[in-house]
Structure 1
């Protein structure tokens, strides 16, 4: 390793100083806490009757333990799990009835959670039960925050938290009147709910109801974490049933109007998960109230957060399972908004809008697509080099379906130019991506009869012959049939006819015919054998 430069050396010195200051602050905090406890009148021996009846909160062994723990921190402070003796001391402080000692333990855990980068041993979790159950608000705040930090950094096994019985005190903290405690406990549940078994446990422990209540909190931090927790819970179909019974759908629908884009995103994503299950559609789309449908379409506006637009598209796609719902979407002017999303700089937004357009294009009654600028948007999207294969499959499939309609196909022809022609040729020739290849070739086949397109195709006779040869010899019958159909239509043009004769395409067609006849003879023989 080479010698560090002056800048890096300074960074290391700054970092060392920071750790030393933080260590000093922690030790000083514990010292001050213990000093205040020692000066409290409750610890002074009193010979009076009242003094004899009062039982000191700070037990003698706790005083010794606190001093030993403080000594350990002063002499051997480091951001790593404690040894056996100091850990036992920390456990004693955590389970103490003295709130000051509990604060010292909670403060230590909080500092550990902010600086430790290794897993926290199992035995360090036991004190959390007492700290989360503490009657002291500061202890609740610090211990819940440190638990969130440990979970987010991956220092604690999420399922272990539940197995050790910490879920119950965390859920109890949801009932706190303190926004900080509510925020931290919601964050804990949100993080724990990424596990399927944890989701089941949260549902069984009746954790859904308090989360729905906090989803309406006036504190934006609490609301964000509560809705985020609900989102993670919707990944379980079983919990979805619970959420519906508890009235989650109207709550999530109204949260779409939140001024907080994060709350909008979480609630929209939660609704998308619910909408993926058809059995919830009746509750989501009441005939007398299309609030959700209108609000989702409104969220497609380019003025909102891109992630929200993308998620709104996904939710609408999941809801568009019937022709009637699709017709309502079109009637609510979804197409102009989808058109603007096709031009988005976000790949996720484009992908989601393309998927929704693909569904709408499958039903002829929705052919108002032709009247919008969506066709142009789809063609331009096809040109994007960063379009992922999944999106490309939707784009080409959507355009191939639209090209079957004469009016739409004429509209497509108007927009076709040399770059789009090259793009279709390239896609048709990429058999390693069979679906986009087939759909691109289908678009070409539908456009052949138009004079403008024939002029464009003639600049690419070689590319057309290349992909036709691949199609004619393809294992799938649909590729062979499309290749033959395209060949027959192109052969009517003299230039293509001459090119086909020179390249011996006719000989290749004859081979395909012979193979087809042999296949038919085998099938007839098999059928005759079956009859006998």
Structure 2
């Protein structure tokens, strides 16, 4: 049938149709390529949609209600269980975001995806989720015991072997935080100690620092400390004292302090040859980082309860670093030095050396410092008493300013009765020396006399009252000193009456002796006449005389003949 078109139109239509078929074929090919790529892509799969939603979550939402919603949990669970590293990383980043913004405990259900991510075969995913776990542990957003119960310790410890410094730092931090819970420490002992000791010897300062921090936490339990020492932790910790990193030095020294508190570990601590531990600690005492100096001093103080360690310290000349610490302006460092010095001074063979090295002068200057704390004053009094117990050079004590320092400390209004007891006991001891008693009698001020009288009147602390009254009684009753006492005669008569009425014979005897001495002054004699104090004085005096006469009758004949 004829088409109705001329030859020319028919030809053009045929060419157009051929071209259209060719273009449609190319277009169809392009469409198929596009859809083939779309099919290959996971954009339209549930996993990809979940990942996309999770990736936008940190950017769009900081609200805890939405972060911890059921939808978030389902999405995290699906993506964490994926075998796709990119999807797992998205979940790990979401947990990192949560760890920064969470202020309440993380629900138990959210911990399952964490475990899945720790078991990932991708190291970057493990590093990210372990960092998130560190943040959650630091803020106590997760229960430490639950982390152990869920079996997370095994993959955390495996990160020790990763060779990646960041992964090792994160895993060590997790271990340190988990080990801070006493119930968890034993869980680390079977598999964790040896790898941890290896990391403590790492050449990477950050890894070494966090590994040492973890070891420190393991020394907070006697049981785990014992296992640590059996595994060879002591030589490692001692070597770390020489680290170039000040934090590593501090952590290792603190760990050694904990170990040293247990006597059974001393042989191992001291068995490292050539006094290596003592030398290392003395070197650390000279550190410019004062907290390290103080901690080294504390460690030596614990160890120096062993006389052999004291001998090592004196042999190694511990004087210079001790003096340096005493001259610092920080009370805590001074207290550490005084604690060690107090331990050394308690051993009489050390005292001549300590006196000759000028420690009495250092103590005197400390007491004259208005910033001295109660701890500093208490230790200073003990050291003075110890050093004066073996030092027979009274002039050296006077030149040391110890007397002036003790009298100034006496005036401090903030000291407790316990600290004042240390001060007055030390002064009472020093006043048994003739030269010191003369010096004190000549230099004591009206304010100091008034303070002694007021303290003697306060019988709430009977020993403090006795010490103060005894110090007053030991002063030489020269006219200059008697003038200082006269304004206080009424107060003195009151506390002497209390002493005479005290059932303790020590107080009664002191009261009699003090009254006999004071009666030499006319003003006191006038006050005493016909007073209740005089009546009590004679009553106690008569009782004492009767006791003296009856005493031979109660003794065996052999002792009675000797006394006669």
TM-score, normalising length: structure 1: 0.79
1:167 maps to which residue? 153
Indicate how the Cα distance of structure 1 residues 83 and 305 shifts in structure 2: closer, same or farther if over 3 A, else same: same
SS in structure 1 opposite 2:389?
Answer: coil
**Counterpart among 53, 62, 82 of residue 68 in structure 2:** 82
Structure 2 gap ranges (5+): 1-33, 509-542, 548-564
1:217 maps to which residue? 202
1:192 maps to which residue? 178
Contact 1:132–1:144 (CA under 8 A) maintained in structure 2: yes
Give 1:423 shift: 1.6
**Counterpart among 400, 422, 437 of residue 439 in structure 1:** 422
Size of the alignment, in residue pairs? 466
1:316 maps to which residue? 300
Contact 1:320–1:326 (CA under 8 A) maintained in structure 2: yes
Give 1:421 shift: 5.7
Residue 467 of structure 1 pairs with residue 452 of structure 2: yes
Larger Rg: 2
Q: How does 1:71-470 map to 2 (within 5 A)?
A: 76-78=60-62, 80=64, 81-203=67-189, 205-286=190-271, 288-301=273-286, 303-367=287-351, 368-407=353-392, 410-416=395-401, 420=405, 422-427=407-412, 433-448=416-431, 449=434, 450=436, 451-457=438-444, 459-460=445-446, 462-468=447-453, 470=455
Give 1:363 shift: 1.8
Indicate how the Cα distance of structure 1 residues 58 and 176 shifts in structure 2: closer, same or farther if over 3 A, else same: farther
Indicate how the Cα distance of structure 1 residues 453 and 72 shifts in structure 2: closer, same or farther if over 3 A, else same: closer
| Cα separation, 2, equivalents of 1:66 and 1:501 | 92
SS in structure 2 opposite 1:381?
Answer: helix
| Cα separation, 1, equivalents of 2:201 and 2:151 | 28
Give 1:248 shift: 0.3
TM-score, normalising length: structure 2: 0.75
Give 1:518 shift: 7.5
Give 1:65 shift: 3.4
Contact 1:57–1:98 (CA under 8 A) maintained in structure 2: no
Q: State the Cα RMSD in Å.
A: 3.2
Structure 1 gap ranges (5+): 1-38, 46-55, 525-532
Give 1:495 shift: 3.2
Contact 1:342–1:377 (CA under 8 A) maintained in structure 2: yes
Indicate how the Cα distance of structure 1 residues 57 and 169 shifts in structure 2: closer, same or farther if over 3 A, else same: farther
| Cα separation, 2, equivalents of 1:209 and 1:70 | 39
Residue 495 of structure 1 pairs with residue 480 of structure 2: yes
SS in structure 1 opposite 2:106?
Answer: coil
Indicate how the Cα distance of structure 1 residues 59 and 311 shifts in structure 2: closer, same or farther if over 3 A, else same: farther
Give 1:396 shift: 2.5
Moved more, 305-314 or 100-109: 100-109
